[in-house]
Structures are given as structure tokens and as C-alpha cells.
Structure 1
């Protein structure tokens, strides 16, 4: 069950997991806040979510590039 949860979190960009780890709160609470916030703001919080997901992917690609170049 834990492996399934990790796979789903990684395939969903891992934004809630990253934010929860950075703020020191549970990942499920961050997900719940995103759900409520997107309902209250008519989906505008999804723009923030996608922006953070994009930024995390760019950051990961940059790290991979540095590892391959030996920096």
C-alpha cells in the first residue's frame, strides 16, 4: 500500500508532498487545503499548483544535468 501511495504522489507531481515537507505539516492536510481553496477560488489555486509542479520538474532536470556533467 505504501508503494502505491508513493507512486501516486510522484505521478501527481509531488507538489503537496513537497509543500508539506517544507512546512512541516502532513501531506494529506496540504491536499485538503488545496481542494477547499480551489473550490472557494473557483480553481485559481490550480494555477499555483501547476506553476509549482513545473518549477519542481525544472529544478529536477537541472540537478540531473549537473550530475551528468560532474559538477
Structure 2
């Protein structure tokens, strides 16, 4: 049951932790733990950052896909 929940969130999350992990060469699990612990300490501010970063990354991927289609003749 726990594995199904983890798989669901990994599949449908924004991919912010994965992006940051690959970008800064840090373990994804450490970044996720950082967001969880800092959310408790900072009363949800890191969650707002996470959602904002997710929206920015989603828009960025959308623009890249559109640009690639426009350049594929």
C-alpha cells in the first residue's frame, strides 16, 4: 500500500525535486526530506516555493515542446 502511494506521487508530482537533484548533483531523497522538514519549521513556505517551481518547470517544458514542433519541418 505504501509503495502504491509513493509511486502515485512520483508519477504525478511536478518533478521539482528530480530537477533540483539533477541540477545540483544531490540525492533526490535528501531534497524531498529538506522540503518536508523545512515545511514544518517554516509553516508551509517551502510548499509554496515547490508549487511555484513546479508551475515554472511545467511552463518551461511546454515552451520547449512548442519550440521543437515549430522548428521541425
Distance, in Å, in 2 between the alignment partners of 1:21 and 1:10 is 17
RMSD: 1.9
Alignment deviations for residues 8-67 of structure 1 (CA, whole Å, 9 cap, x no partner): 434111000111111111000000000000000011111100110000000001001111
5+ long unaligned stretches in structure 2: none
Q: TM-score, normalised by structure 2?
A: 0.82
Query: Is the Cα contact below 8 Å between 1:9 and 1:17 reproduced in 2?
Result: no
5+ long unaligned stretches in structure 1: none
Q: TM-score, normalised by structure 1?
A: 0.84
Moved over 6 A (4+): none
- How many pairs does the alignment contain? 68
Q: What's the counterpart of residue 44 of structure 2?
A: 43
| Higher RCO, 1 vs 2 (CA within 8 Å, ≥6 residues apart) | 2
